[in-house]
Chains A and B, each alone.
Chain A
Amino acid sequence: MNISYGQAINQALTEEMRRNKKLICFGLGVNDSLKFFGTTKGLEKKFGSQRVFETPTSENAMTGIGIGMSLYKNPCVMMHQRLDFFLLAMDQLVNSAAKWHYMFGGQKSIPITIRLIVGKGWGQGPTHSQSLQSWFAHIPGLKVVMPSLPSDAYNLLKDSIRDPNPVIFIEHRWLHGSEEKKITKEKNKIGHSKLLSIGKDFTVVTYSLSTLEMLTIKKALNKQNIFFDHVDLRTIKPLDMKIIKRSLNKTQKLLVLDTISHPICSIGSEIISQVSQDKSIKLSKQPLLITLPDVPSPTGTFYTKDFYVSKKNILNKIELLLNRKINIHFNDNIKHDVPNLNFKGPF
């Protein structure tokens, strides 16, 4: 039986709660009827309401409360069904969680994992779809993890929970339904990217949803005799530049798919900046970056068609990078604003 990304998260949480009797899970929706998109199913029943609990709608205080628990004896997993709500907690995240270990001279760290879900499609609009990994990555003291595949979600969530530092764990909502045949277990992978495929024509760097976007057009590209190194970042901070640089020494061509981010100060622009500052890398073509426009997400379905990055957009950039025409016709029967045919909203 296949395992989905959402189930992998649930399995990781369950195993970690069982392993560490001090671990606590909380957030609005953890024990509601939908169980946080199914990812917290069974937790309260197994581990009790002291360790798994619903919270008041108080994002800032609850973050601070999680910090306090983590400081004492109880590492925490805190969760938000949309990242955008977590913006109310920036004081606690940036001024407390990220700084505590450093500003008190290394005496106590904050082992808190914050799960944030990013929305897309079905009218998520300007304030339910922001993917702000660049913000978090900017802050010294935070780690930022964004797995794309179920196995990585499972492994990296476990790594995050066991990490003695605050970790921002960002899940794209459209990944929850994606599946693998089984979980491949790995350990200590925070800060390590992964090469998903190998090829000489160019290097593509993806993470989170853009990894899936690239995987869906991979076969068609291979059929056209186009082969590429595919780097899945998995972790945004620390950023693993080694794999990217090694790959670029071979391919000399770089495409970064930062398709859930706005362009300014994005992870993609950071990667291109680091590559361009490295004397040992000689690119044969200027590096290319695909992002959302520097415009907030609209809500209406007619607008979002042009707002989102499409397979066609990605293909056009690859054509530019390879300086050749690629004849692929995508016969897509799934609308642009749902992850699959089964998705009927609302979020």
Chain B
Amino acid sequence: MNKEIYKKIYGLQKKIRYVEEKISSNYKDYLMRCPTHLSIGQESVASASGLALNNKDIAISYHRSHAHYLAKGGSAKKLFAELHGYEEGCSKGIGGSMHLIDLKNNFYGSTAIVSNSIPVGVGLAYSLKINKQKNLVCIYIGDAALEEGVFYESLNFCVIKKLPVVFVCENNFYSVYTHIKDRQPQGRKLFKLAEAIGAKSNKFNQDNPYKLYLKFKNIFHKVRKNPFPHFIEIETYRYLEHCGPNDDTHLGYRSEIELKNWKKKDPLIYSRDFLMKKNLFNKSKVDLIDKKIKNSVDIEFNSIKNLKKPNFKKIKELVYKK
């Protein structure tokens, strides 16, 4: 792996974190008036997988999708505009935080109902295959997706038709405020469920995003060459509340210690230290990378402040394609 890749992976994590922090710190102005699920803490999975995908590979995601959208190449400015409800947003301000799209980079969309985008991704994969495209579909899901029937229905179809699909399951343990131990039997392994349906299945660790990138790269390569569904489970953790910009440990459904322990092994800290420890970049260079990213995110956020208010009359025409 060359220096540039290390920089890219680190930079993407950092960018996602800045974008999300920007949203979090400005949410209190009540200008982003939509339910917003932030990915702070989960950037490692999105960065490693997003960079391992080719531009022609398709990605599709769920309600907590800012990171996946950005990692596939989505514009931060269009994301900010979308959250503010402007026509310049990636979905013209109609979809909001939970309905992001960037067709230029083959991010086909994120949807809000748990597991809703899974079969859509599978259908895209069927089309890729019969149109003889050598690409794959990456379907991002959470742990609760495996509590929905449509996951099993879709995976079964993938296995029958040997489709080029990789499920990337971000197991962050909580469905809203309910822990997985209250939703699934103790000791169950999510990736084993997928294996039982017939997919190839692995569980990876998010701590080292560079290593994770290589693992994704390897599996994606295999799937493009010999289409077959793969399932990858990665345990991860969101630092902020389920939906919204704040810390929520006061609610009591999770402990401050639990949060603190996850923050201690923050992949972003790990990857930053790694760059310096391995002498890839010195501290002042890493600081410079940080600064550049922060500046560009700030500029993109500020650039949407003077956009024109859109008109409802115009979007009524969009219900049907003419």
Contact = CB atoms under 8 A, between A and B. Distances in A.
B91 A67 contact: no
B123 A72 contact: yes
B199 to A, nearest CB: 14
| Residue of B90, B130, B149 most packed against chain A (CB within 10 A) | B130
Interface string A18-56: 000000000000000000000000000000001100011
B201 interface: no
B315 A102 contact: yes
Nearest to A100: B109
A67 B113 contact: no
A123 to B, nearest CB: 29
Given A103-B91, A103-B99, A105-B94, A64 B123 contact: yes
Given A50-B130, A56-B156, A73-B131, A68 B123 contact: yes
B154 interface: yes
A101 B127 contact: no
A108 to B, nearest CB: 7
Contact of A61 (B101, B103, B119): B119
A95 B113 contact: yes
A102 B156 CA distance: 30
Contacts of A56: 153, 156-157, 160
A50 B163 CA distance: 13
A107 interface: yes
A95 B118 CA distance: 13
Q: For chain A, give the interface size range.
A: 35 or more
A239 to B, nearest CB: 14
B150 A71 contact: no
Interface in A296-341: none
Interface in A54-102: 55-56, 58, 60-74, 91-92, 95-96, 100-102
A101 B153 contact: no
Contact of B119 (A50, A51, A63): A63
A71 B154 contact: no
A100 B321 CA distance: 10
Name the interface size band of chain B. Answer: 35 or more
Contact of A69 (B92, B124, B154, B156): B124
A267 to B, nearest CB: 19
A321 B77 CA distance: 63
Contacts of A50: 130
The secondary structure that dominates the B interface is helix
Contact of B111 (A61, A95, A143): A95
B119 A67 contact: yes
A295 B269 CA distance: 64
A108 B127 CA distance: 15
Nearest to B103: A107
Interface in B299-322: 315, 317-322
B293 interface: no
B122 A61 contact: yes
Given A74-B127, A165-B320, A105 B92 contact: yes
B320 A61 contact: no
Contacts of A64: 116-120, 122-123, 150, 154
A68 B91 contact: no
Contacts of A109: 320-321
A60 B119 contact: yes
Given A68-B121, A73-B131, A106 B157 contact: no
B119 A65 contact: yes
Given A68-B125, A141-B319, A61 B154 contact: yes
A105 B160 contact: no
A58, A61, A107, A143: residue with the most chain B Cβ atoms closer than 10 Å: A61
Interface in A215-245: none
B315 A68 contact: no
Contacts of A96: 111, 116, 120
A100 B320 CA distance: 10
A101 B157 CA distance: 25
Contacts of B128: 72
Contact of A65 (B157, B319, B322): B157
A224 to B, nearest CB: 44
A293 interface: no
Contacts of B62: none
Nearest to B127: A72
A61 B113 contact: no
Contacts of A63: 119
Contacts of B89: 105
Contacts of B127: 68-69, 72-74
B99 A58 contact: no
A164 interface: yes
Contacts of A140: 319
A340 B154 CA distance: 40
The 3 closest A-B pairs by CB, nearest first: A68-B123, A64-B119, A105-B92
18 contacts: A51-B130, A55-B157, A60-B119, A64-B118, A65-B122, A65-B123, A68-B119, A68-B124, A69-B126, A72-B124, A74-B126, A74-B130, A91-B150, A100-B109, A103-B99, A105-B93, A105-B315, A143-B320
